[in-house]
Amino acid sequence: MDLTAVDLFSGGGGASLGIHRVDGIELRGAAEINDEVCDHYNKNLPVEAADIDLTDEDALNQICAKYDLKPADIDLVIGCPPCQKYSSLQDTTPPLEDGPKNKLLNVYIDLILKIAPKVVVFENVPGLMSEKNEQYLEDLKYHLRKSNYGFDLKRLCTADYGVPQDRDRVIGIGIQGVSSEEVSLPEPTHAPPEKADAEGKKPYRTVADAIDDLPPLEAGETRSDLPFNGHRARNHRKKTIEFMKQIPQNGGSRTDLPDEDQLECHKNLENKASAGNVYGRMAWEEPGPTLTGRCTSPSSGRFVHPEQHRGISPREAARIMTFPDDYDLPESNGTAERLIGNAVPPDFIATVLTTFLTEHKDLIKEPQAQTAD
């Protein structure tokens, strides 16, 4: 099976890197409007991302011109419209007969309808499945059904698919010309170690699997003698370092400490367990926590090294996200953690797509639906 793919809202390249790990898919194009993110994508992937505003009415023509494609040449479209647009939803009108509404998810839907690829891959944050955002997904399902796509969409945990990180993502995959009853997302390939053998699955990949071979760092130290960049620690304040030293190693939390040892900002919390993950240590033999755009900052989550008295390095974050060591990370800690923390793990995309295409190869054939007007 040879499928030509494009990645819309490509970000730093998490989905694109995943596609490159799937046999039978050739990534031909990508679009990303954020110049800084686009620059790092172009440093690290063989396909150059186009600086195209996908809200432009002419966006599809720009994509096709950039990559010498026709819409009919594109077999697979993957996209993750920026999740910030889903933080609040004011418009609750039903799906419209005359096309998607003017929001970024609906821009993505509009491009799908115009391209009419054989396979549609949608990926996003779990907050999209909240009650206040359900209209977005209803729009997506409505227009895909109307355009003759069978579609399955679920909230999946990346640890269940071989990523050393307990991170939930919403993923949906559709095939043109079949019913939704014929389309199903793959079952998990991994499980907690105590259940893996009984379920015939591989044990979860862990923080140790991802980072335990990296050399130790002191706060503020950078290792420039490695064959890859980004293994550097934030220069924490002395007070912060002393506080981290009190946190029990290998999965400990600030909530393990007595009240007198808590930071002043936590002593006044009505619920002493709230913000419990901040200044927490990762555990060696478990998947890492969900990484965010502040994933090297101990005050922002369970982002302290299992043993060392520092936040994880950008390279450690990249490894937990399954980015390869040859991915050149930004020199700024803030830029690096945002790029990595906002991405989708490449191995998650690779595992889900590889299994899905294998299981549905007989259904992925010549388009049966007409290209939308």
pLDDT at 124 over 60: yes
In a domain, 262, yes or no: no
Please write the tens of the pLDDT for every residue from 274-311: 456 789 999 999 999 999 999 999 999 999 999 999 99
pLDDT at 98 over 50: no
- Answer yes or no: are the C-beta atoms of 283 and 306 closer than 8 Å: yes
Q: Is the pLDDT of residue 188 over 80?
A: yes
Residue 321 CB coordination number (10 Å): 28
Is 117 domain-assigned? yes
Structural domain includes residue 287: no
Which tokens go with 23?
């046999």
pLDDT at 173 over 80: yes
Select the highest-mean-pLDDT range: 97-101, 242-246, 264-268, 353-357.
353-357
As for how many domains the chain has, the answer is 1
Res 86 pLDDT > 90: no
Give the strand pairing for 149-157 and 76-79.
unpaired
Q: Where are the alpha helices (DSSP H) in 191-344?
A: 193-199, 207-211, 238-246, 264-267, 314-320, 333-341
Q: Is residue 136 part of a domain?
A: yes
CATH of the domain at 97: 3.40.50.150
As a whole number of angstroms, the distance between CA 108 and CA 120 comes to 11
Q: What is the pLDDT of residue 268?
A: 61
At residue 89, the pLDDT reads 28
Contact 175, 118 (CB under 8 A): yes
Return d(Cα 164, Cα 206) in angstroms, integer: 5
Task: Tell me the mean pLDDT in the region 30-34.
Answer: 93
Average pLDDT score over the chain:
89
Q: Mark residue 273 as left, alpha or beta (left: phi above 0; alpha: psi -120 to 50; beta: remaining).
A: alpha
Tell me what the mean pLDDT of segment 24-34 comes to: 95
Q: Which domain holds residue 178?
A: 3-193+345-359
Q: Is there a domain that residue 102 lies in?
A: yes
* Residue 185 C-alpha from the chain's centroid: 17
Give domain status of residue 368, yes or no.
Answer: no
Q: Is residue 366 a part of any domain in this protein? A: no
99 domain residue, yes or no? yes
